[in-house]
Amino acid sequence: MEFDVIVARINRETDRIRSYELRRTDGFPIPVYTPGSNITIALPNGMIRTYSLTDTGSEPDALRIAVLHQVTGRGGSQFIHHDVKTGDTLRVRGIANSFSLQDSARKHILVAGGIGITPILSMAKHLEQSGSSFEVHYAARSRGEAAFADILACDPFKDKVKFYFDDENQRIDLDGILSDFVSGTAVYCCGPPGLMNAVTSKSGHWPVGSVRLDSFEPLDGNTDDQPFTVKLASTGQIFDIPPGKSILRVLRDHGVCVGSQCEQGVCGACLTPIVEGLPDHRDRVLSESEKRANDLVALCCSRSLTNSLVLDM
């Protein structure tokens, strides 16, 4: 469902993070969503961006997001910080959730780094309201750069949240947090690549599905990825996909016209049918069953588990 929203309020959470309250222009209630959800927004400059919601989904009056100003980013956060004003109208392209709470879990461990606190905050609010068992581990460069720390440092959260600040030489003890798996426990992590990689490494002995990750980084791979080739079924052309570069970028570099919008694996515009090969799904569009089918691949972010992918294009 698409609808227009007006920017009702802008708050300065830190020097680099602002929160935005968005209300529907038509007066209808906000569609129901669940903790961990995100919205895809069409900006007036033509950019499509996705941001996590900071509320639980039970508030029918408004959507609330927080945006980190990234000077070296792809331009979306710069536009929002510099050009979006109170009273402006934005287009919401949809609400989705690929980072949901596990209903069957009896305890929830929430790990956040920097701006990754946004979906974690929505989860913490919901778990507190429902009386569930949870704990929050929140790492940031400093207290001044920890958005929403004032909320989490007070009741009803203060006894369930532990902060870690780089400038105070505090390090999150993932070895201790993830040392032993206790049946019924689920872990959720959102933050920079270093934190995500560390959580993945330290939780290797946990059962599949008990650890869920969400990332705000542009999904263009990293230098630890394995190279592979992509073949276009229609022309027979073969392209080498190196570590740190997406299929989308390689194809465009070679003059192949490929449609896309968000380039973060959230809109589905670049989903392409697969003729042969096994994809390494990294998008947040396909459902788990669709990923298991391995019929489609998101060219902007996903890679290959096999040496080659043959695409129906």
| Closest to 164 (Cα-Cα) out of 156, 173, 155 | 173
What's the chain's average pLDDT?
A: 90
Per-position DSSP letters for 261-290, written without gaps between them: S-SSSSS-TTEEEEEES-EE---SSS-HHH
For 228-311, give the CATH class: alpha beta
The answer, yes or no, to whether residue 1 has pLDDT greater than 60, is yes
Confidence of residue 73 (pLDDT cuts 50, 70, 90): low
Pairing status of strand 161-165 against strand 133-140: parallel
Residue-wise pLDDT tens digits, 136-180: 999 999 999 999 999 999 999 999 999 999 999 999 999 999 998
d(CA 138, CA 134): 13
For 3-96, give the CATH class: mainly beta
Confidence of residue 217 (pLDDT cuts 50, 70, 90): low
What's the mean pLDDT in 61-65? 93
For 107-214, give the CATH class: alpha beta
At residue 258, the pLDDT reads 79
- Sole residue written with tokens 């499509």: 48
Residue-wise pLDDT tens digits, 219-230: 445 557 899 999
Residue-wise pLDDT tens digits, 253-295: 888 877 766 677 766 778 999 999 999 998 877 878 899 999 9
Per-position DSSP letters for 215-229, written without gaps between them: --S--S--TTSPPEE
Domain positions in the chain: 3-96, 107-214, 228-311
Which amino acid is it at 233?
A
Which amino acid is it at 206?
W
